[in-house]
Amino acid sequence: AMVEASEAEVKRWQDVRSAYRNHLANLSLVLHPWRLLDSTHQNSPEVERQLQAEIAALETLMEMHGLPVKKKALDKVRKQLAGVSALIDFWWQMVRQDLEQVALTPRWKRWVEELLLPLMYWQEQLSRTRCPRRRAKILQALQAVQDAFEPHPFTQRLAPDVLAGWQAWAAEWAKAFQRASSAVEGRNGYLSQMHHNHRGLPRRRYKVWTVLHNFDCRASDGTTPASRFFRREFPDLFETILSQIDDLPRPRRRNQTLVISD
């Protein structure tokens, strides 16, 4: 009887752990311009509601099983959900502004937004994801979009070089949607450490670090976050600042003369 009770207890906590990990995984799988289930378009309010529901489910799970609930941590996450979700509407706005430069009919725009973009986006996300379970779900979504993309009449009508150009354009926008915040968190962590060591930092230094991160941190291909996001080149940051610096002033002279005694 003791063994059976212990086994039941182990099984219960295994289920709790599995449910907890599923909620954490859903937080990541929700934050996409398309739903993972059917690759349909979603906006920021829809994403925020889903994220709020997952946070509430996590809190309920911990309270139900007597786990310590970190209210401050959950409240901090809730405050960030609106800003994180707003990235989706902002990304869609930038994509549609770029599409306005091309005279496309509504049917061609629908082909771009419902097939071409999600195809290249799920391919990009598949290359970034390491978790086997998440890869399986993304691969399933990618396969469904690919099965609808290849036999589509608009896809068949395009010449190979034209289709390759559209796919390259969609791949650039797929890379522009950055869900990871590790680079920003690393910058904030460094600033936090500097703030702790120096007991306070000038507010202007935060702006300086933001500019350095966006315009001077270069990837392996030589591009900066600003050039990748705005899809244009910017002048060299060091040369720009150097051109605005005048000649350095001479050292000040001492008011008192040195007296050498014997």
Which one-letter amino acid corresponds to residue 102?
Answer: V
More confident residue, 172 or 254: 172
DSSP 41: B
Per-residue pLDDT, averaged over 220-240, amounts to 87
Per-residue confidence band for 34, with pLDDT thresholds at 50, 70 and 90: very high
Per-residue confidence band for 218, with pLDDT thresholds at 50, 70 and 90: confident
pLDDT given at position 109: 92
> How far is it, in rounded angstroms, from Cα 140 to Cα 122?
10
Going by C-beta distance under 8 Å and a sequence separation of 6 or more, which residues neighbour residue 135? 126, 129
Nearest in space to 146 (alpha carbons), one of 169, 123, 127, 129? 123
Nearest in space to 173 (alpha carbons), one of 33, 7, 59, 56? 33
For the record, the structure tokens of 45 come out as 């309010």
For the record, the structure tokens of 239 come out as 């040369």
More confident residue, 260 or 37: 37
Dump the DSSP string for 56-92: HHHHHHHHHTTPPP-HHHHHHHHHHHHHHHHHHHHHH
Per-residue pLDDT, averaged over 127-154, amounts to 91
**What is the percentage of the chain residues whose pLDDT exceeds 70?**
87
Per-residue pLDDT, averaged over 4-27, amounts to 86
Question: For residues 224 and 216, is the Cβ–Cβ distance under 8 A?
Answer: yes
Q: Tell me the helices (H) and strands (E) count for the chain, helix number first.
A: 12, 0
Is the pLDDT score of 260 beyond 90? no
Q: Phi/psi at 254 (nearest 5 deg)? A: -70, 140
- pLDDT digit string, tens, across residues 157-207: 999 999 999 999 999 999 888 775 544 555 566 666 665 555 556 777 778
pLDDT given at position 120: 94
Nearest in space to 231 (alpha carbons), one of 184, 179, 183, 172? 172
DSSP 101: T
> How far is it, in rounded angstroms, from Cα 51 to Cα 28?
9
